[in-house]
């Protein structure tokens, strides 16, 4: 029987939003009752309109924000009851916005060493070697070991975030747009790496991406979110071949084909 | 004769140097580019090849330690290098606007969306606050933020990645600039909203005859919106031409590699590994030991081909015009490279 790695039950997250001074706050329902289960070794693709609640759901799964209702279990344990260290060992995020998730005053070397330090990894003599190896794996030049985040390009920063999540080989990785800032060649390199790690170590991924080609390539199952709800969930090939929900169809119909002879916009000459 | 269109942006021999501990980094090395009115120039290239620094250099927003040199840097024939910081500030957001790669770097975390968007309008246009506010709301709805009203009082961190990106896009479009530099503007958007935004940008561009320099690594976007494409590699523009030329007849080895690893939607199996270009972008510190692209030919090339050493590579790159189209320009650094690209040389220049 497959082990359940992630079990989110009836998750709801509401945010208060201001309606202007002296007015009562309104509630914005970012996630409106989502139940999801991901088994060990699976890759769950999460797609949906911008603002539909994907990042919020990811943060709930990671235990970074408390749910308004519902609960999350990671490997059978309630995420909010796990000790921080234990949680960090099991589940790691790769965030959408690498700029705000990297400490600007730390070098890349120390940013990447931190997870090893936090987890009190005993082989401290090998830390630097492992950091440098991981930098190689994600295609970061060694000279960046001593550089700061603001000295890197957008795609390089994104790769730092990826390296940081993978260095301790967590069982679950929640990737929020992990390759959005990468060119196709580097993107392929990263996706190949994620695939290899999964096969080698039986890792479990939640993969949020607007790039449907990436989702199709990586995910074993896809959940489509729309206004805070999962409206369709299917094995990847089935979803791409026979989308059922209107939004899914619209999504698949808006893919831009990399061929200048098949433009969907008409430009007046 | 084709009518020569009006040029909005003219950049000649732009270089950027940044001192780092190991020496001097040359992330941008003598590049030339121009954007005409009503035209979209897409710039593609590997992560770290200098695309963002190039756009920051044009905007006059480079980090302090970076040094810019250029023979020509003109917006509508006006020399940007001659302007004072104040004059530049008047132009930015008004006549030229930039959509930054990472919205959080340019949105002020402590201002509401309303305040950030009103600022450029009130500063550059003679509008009452109410008029400006209405324009802001209208623009937000055009970029698909509906209803826009409740968003005005939110702060950047309360928005999703894609909403933030659209706020940035709205901000850049508000003053109808002559030139928009868009650095990966749609990475956080789902394909339906992306299509809507691109369509909006194109229609506004037509209406106001804006020139757009559009940086992206999404070849689907390039194929759909570009008039011309410039391919950057390790700080240089290695190939440039009309969009159909670049897709159908890529000439430089890097462009060819790039075309080879586009994941085509619908055609991708689960089992195959994705194509990559072997190796990684060389470090651009000091001068090159060998050619920038050296050693990154695909496997077939690698066997019988050693990358040229510096002594063999001419100091100044030669540019060869390829026989396909007078507008299609490729920069090869040596004859070997030209030979391998299987193109015949028509006209060479140094
Ligand atoms: N801290 C917060 N306070 C108030 N509202 C918030 C907060 N965080 C998110 N939201 C709102 O919740 C909704 C869902 O946001 P979320 O970031 O989960 O979307 P998303 O699906 O990740 O979108 P994108 O694809 O654009 O990144 C949005 O309307 C957003 O503005
Ligand atoms: N302030 C800085 N100090 C030192 N090096 C820098 C600095 N800013 C950028 N660089 C380096 O210059 C090179 C070009 O950076 P740039 O941000 O222009 O790349 P890019 O083409 O936009 O890449 P991406 O697609 O990843 O955003 C990179 O290798 C980067 O590491
Ligand atoms: S053939 Fe040209 S591109 Fe290839 S290694 Fe030599 S100089 Fe570089
Ligand atoms: Mg998000
Ligand atoms: Mg960039």
Compute how many other C-beta atoms are within 10 angstroms of the C-beta atom of residue A163. 25
Residue B324 lies inside a defined structural domain of this protein: yes
pLDDT tens digits for range B141-200: 999 998 999 899 999 999 999 999 999 999 999 999 999 999 999 998 999 999 999 999
Whole-number Å distance, alpha carbon B161 to ligand 4 midpoint, is 5
- Domain around B267: 242-340
Tell me if chain A has a CB within 8 Å of the CB of B193.
Answer: yes
Residue B346 lies inside a defined structural domain of this protein: no
Radius of gyration of chain A (CA): 20
pTM of the model: 0.89
Residue bearing the bigger pLDDT, A113 or A137: A113
pLDDT tens digits for range B242-288: 999 899 888 777 787 778 766 655 544 455 555 555 544 444 444 44
Residue B25 lies inside a defined structural domain of this protein: no
Whole-number Å distance, alpha carbon B336 to ligand 3 midpoint, is 6
CB-based contacts of B19-26 (< 8 A; 24+ apart in sequence): B19/B65, B20/A143, B20/A147, B20/A151, B20/B285, B21/A146, B22/A143, B22/B285, B22/B286, B23/B285, B23/B286, B24/B285, B24/B286, B25/B284, B25/B285, B26/B235, B26/B284, B26/B285, B26/B286
- The two structure tokens encoding residue B233: 């590699």
Per-residue pLDDT averaged across B299-307, rounded? 43
pLDDT surpassing 50 at residue B203: yes
Tell me which residue has its CA closest to atom 31 in ligand 1.
B159
Q: Among the CATH numbers 3.40.50.300, 3.40.50.1220, 3.40.50.2300, 3.10.129.10, which is that of A4-99+171-262?
A: 3.40.50.300
Residue B268 lies inside a defined structural domain of this protein: yes
Residue B290 lies inside a defined structural domain of this protein: yes
Counting the structural domains of chain B, the total is: 1
Quote the minimal CA–CA distance from B149 to chain A in Å: 9
DSSP B16: E
Residues B85, B59: Cα–Cα separation, whole Å: 11
Tell me which residue has its CA closest to atom 8 in ligand 1.
B158
Question: Which 234-273 residues of chain B touch chain A by CB within 8 A?
Answer: 243-244, 247-248, 257-258, 261-266, 268, 270, 273
pLDDT tens digits for range B29-82: 889 999 999 999 999 988 888 999 999 999 999 999 999 999 999 999 999 999
pLDDT surpassing 80 at residue B98: yes
Tell me if chain A has a CB within 8 Å of the CB of B63.
Answer: yes
**Does ligand 3 lie within 6 Å of residue B337's CB atom?**
yes
Residues 6+ apart with CB under 8 A from B251: B239, B322, B324, B328, B330, B341, B343
Mutation pick from A20, A47, A260 vs chain B, by most beta carbons of B within 10 Å, is A260
pLDDT surpassing 60 at residue B304: no
List the single residue in A20, A217, A262 with the smallest CB-CB distance to B263. A217
Is A262 within 8 Å of B274 when comparing Cβ atoms? no
Q: Where are the domains of chain A?
A: 4-99+171-262
Is A265 within 8 Å of B202 when comparing Cβ atoms? yes
Residue bearing the bigger pLDDT, A127 or B280: A127
Is B191 within 8 Å of A195 when comparing Cβ atoms? no
């Amino acid at each position: 029987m497959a082990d359940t790695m992630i079990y989110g039950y009836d998750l709801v997250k509401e945010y208060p939003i201001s309606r202007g001074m002296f007015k009562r706050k309104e509630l914005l329902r970012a996630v409106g009752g989502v139940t999801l289960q991901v088994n060990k070794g699976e890759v769950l693709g999460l797609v949906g309109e911008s603002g539909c609640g994907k990042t919020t759901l990811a943060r709930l799964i990671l235990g970074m924000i408390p749910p308004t209702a519902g609960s999350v279990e990671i490997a059978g344990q309630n995420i909010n009851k796990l000790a921080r260290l234990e949680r960090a060992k099991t589940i790691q995020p790769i965030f959408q916005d690498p700029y705000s998730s990297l400490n600007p005053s730390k070098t890349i070397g120390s940013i990447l060493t931190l997870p090893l330090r936090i987890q009190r990894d005993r082989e401290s003599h090998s830390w630097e070697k492992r950091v440098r190896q991981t930098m190689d794996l994600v295609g970061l030049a060694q000279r960046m070991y001593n550089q700061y985040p603001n000295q890197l390009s957008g795609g390089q920063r994104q790769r730092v975030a990826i390296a940081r999540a993978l260095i301790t080989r967590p069982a679950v990785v929640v990737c929020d747009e992990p390759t959005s800032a990468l060119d196709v060649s580097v993107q392929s390199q990263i996706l190949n790496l994620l695939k290899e790690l999964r096969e080698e170590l039986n890792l479990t991924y939640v993969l949020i991406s607007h790039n449907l080609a990436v989702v199709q390539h990586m995910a074993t199952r896809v959940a489509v979110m729309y206004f805070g709800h999962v409206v369709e969930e299917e094995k990847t090939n089935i979803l791409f071949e026979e989308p059922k929900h209107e939004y899914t169809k619209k999504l698949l119909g808006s893919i831009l084909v990399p061929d200048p002879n098949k433009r969907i916009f008409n430009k007046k000459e | 004769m084709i009518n020569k269109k009006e040029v909005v942006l003219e950049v000649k021999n732009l270089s950027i140097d940044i001192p780092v501990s190991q020496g001097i980094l040359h992330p941008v090395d003598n590049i030339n580019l121009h954007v005409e009115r009503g035209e979209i120039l897409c710039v593609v290239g590997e992560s770290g090849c200098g695309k963002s620094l190039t756009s920051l250099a044009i905007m006059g927003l480079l980090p302090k330690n970076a040094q810019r040199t250029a023979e020509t840097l003109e917006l509508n024939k006006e020399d940007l290098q001659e302007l004072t910081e104040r004059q530049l500030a008047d132009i930015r957001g008004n006549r030229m606007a930039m959509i930054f790669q990472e919205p959080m770097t340019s949105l002020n975390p402590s201002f509401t969306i309303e305040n950030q968007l009103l600022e450029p309008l009130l500063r550059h246009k003679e509008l009452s606050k109410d008029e400006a506010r209405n324009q802001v709301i209208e623009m937000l709805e055009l970029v698909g933020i509906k209803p826009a009203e409740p968003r005005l009082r939110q702060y950047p961190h309360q928005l999703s990645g894609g909403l933030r990106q659209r706020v940035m896009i709205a901000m850049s479009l508000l003053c109808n600039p002559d030139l928009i530099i868009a650095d990966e503007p749609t990475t956080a958007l789902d394909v339906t909203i992306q299509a809507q935004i691109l369509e909006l940008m194109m229609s506004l561009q037509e209406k106001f005859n804006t020139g757009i320099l559009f940086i992206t690594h999404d070849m689907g976007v390039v194929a759909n919106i570009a008039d011309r494409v410039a391919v950057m590699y390790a700080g240089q523009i290695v190939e440039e031409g009309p969009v159909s030329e670049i897709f159908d007849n890529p000439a430089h080895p890097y462009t060819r590699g790039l075309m080879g690893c586009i994941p085509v939607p619908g055609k991708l199996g689960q089992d195959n590994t994705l194509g990559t270009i072997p190796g990684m972008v060389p470090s651009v510190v000091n001068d090159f030991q060998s050619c920038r692209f050296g050693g990154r030919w695909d496997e077939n090339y690698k066997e019988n081909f050693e990358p040229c050493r510096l002594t063999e590579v001419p100091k100044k790159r030669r540019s060869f015009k390829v026989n396909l189209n007078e507008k299609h320009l490729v920069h090869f650094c040596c004859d070997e490279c030209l030979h391998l690209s299987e193109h015949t040389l028509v006209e060479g220049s140094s």
